[in-house]
Amino acid sequence: MDNRSEVREFLTSRRARISPEQAGLPSYGTRRVPGLRRAEVAQLAGVSVEYYSRLERGDLAGVSDSVLNALARALRLNDEERIHLEDLARAAGPGLRRRRRRPASQRVRPTVQRLLDSITGPAFVMNGRGDLVAFNALGRALYAPMIEAARGAVPNHARFLFLDARSHQFWGDWERAANDTVALLHAEAGRDPYDKDLTALVGELSTRSDDFRARWARHDVRLHHIGSKPVRHPVVGDLHLTYESMDLPADALTLVAYGTEPGSDSEDKLRLLASWATTAEIASADGDLVNDRADNR
């Protein structure tokens, strides 16, 4: 990732979405491009036009917290966008390559797996790129289409969404899932612009998917905390799931657990999915046993 380009395009995109009227400024004449002018952002932030122009060219190195806060107010950034701007400024600082975050693991520690297995609802662990590196049994059953699509590789949210047609049937609201996933990747790019695997993923998706490329150009960001997701599972049908996430800072990973409303149709369907998963596991084990016996003859 090019930090300067990320800064430039993020600030430009945020400036373009605010009208002078929304900012409480007079508007004169017809504007060639939407949104505020650089001079108006500088006025709102209390900095010179020359200084703001330098920032928007991508040079956030050494910018103070007070200026970042002033920019966030002027551009009406939400909490997630404000954090992203701070991440971009941190990445622009000297020595980031030496201080870069510890790479996320592609497997989980036994204690984390035991924690996953203790959760009654579907649960999984993923890294900032959206690679799903571990599941509990019900999580594996829920994400069976994504795991199957990966063909033995580590399943990835974005690859499944944008490169596999089955994702349109799996996600009850594909547009929202697509927007959220790209916004999560943008937030991760701000935190760790030197992640070569993330750069490769974004390059692959930008080359192969117009849908991804259009969303990436918006520079929206999002953090993964709580929410809801509709899923259309091929075995049990429509599920309305809520989720909570928990960071695992020692591993640079995130644990996500799904739940349902008590007494809901989705709760009953999760029980059915758990029963199906158990049956499928037994059938797989029996098949392996038959194959072993055949091999030993």
**Backbone angles phi and psi of 192, in degrees to 5:** -140, 80
Residue 284 is predicted with a pLDDT of: 54
Chain segment 220-258, per-residue pLDDT in tens: 998 878 899 999 999 999 999 999 999 998 888 999 999
Sheet of strand 123-126: strand arrangement: 132-135, 123-126, 253-259, 237-248, 226-233
Q: What is the mean pLDDT of residues 256-284?
A: 88
Q: How many CB atoms lie within 10 A of CB 208?
A: 13
Residue 102 is predicted with a pLDDT of: 56
What SS3 state is found at 222? coil
Closest by alpha carbon to 274, among 122, 155, 124, 149? 122
Q: Is the dihedral of CA 270, 272, 278, 279 positive or negative?
A: negative
Chain segment 81-139, per-residue pLDDT in tens: 999 999 999 888 765 444 455 555 677 899 999 999 999 999 999 999 999 999 999 99
Cα separation, 33 vs 12, whole angstroms: 11
Q: Report percent pLDDT > 90 for the chain.
A: 72
217-235 burial string, b = 16+ CB within 10 Å, else e? eebbbbebeeeebebbbee
Tell whether the model's pLDDT for residue 292 goes beyond 50. no
Longest CA–CA separation in the chain, Å? 88
Task: Please name each of the domains of the chain with its CATH number.
Answer: 3-99 (1.10.260.40), 110-288 (3.30.450.180)
Q: Are 256 and 243 in contact (CB under 8 A)?
A: yes
* Torsion angle, alpha carbons of 189, 192, 194, 197, to 10: -70
Residue 270 is predicted with a pLDDT of: 95
Q: What is the mean pLDDT of residues 140-153?
A: 95
Q: Is the dihedral of CA 181, 171, 266, 235 positive or negative?
A: negative
The pTM of the full predicted model, rounded to 2 decimals, is 0.84
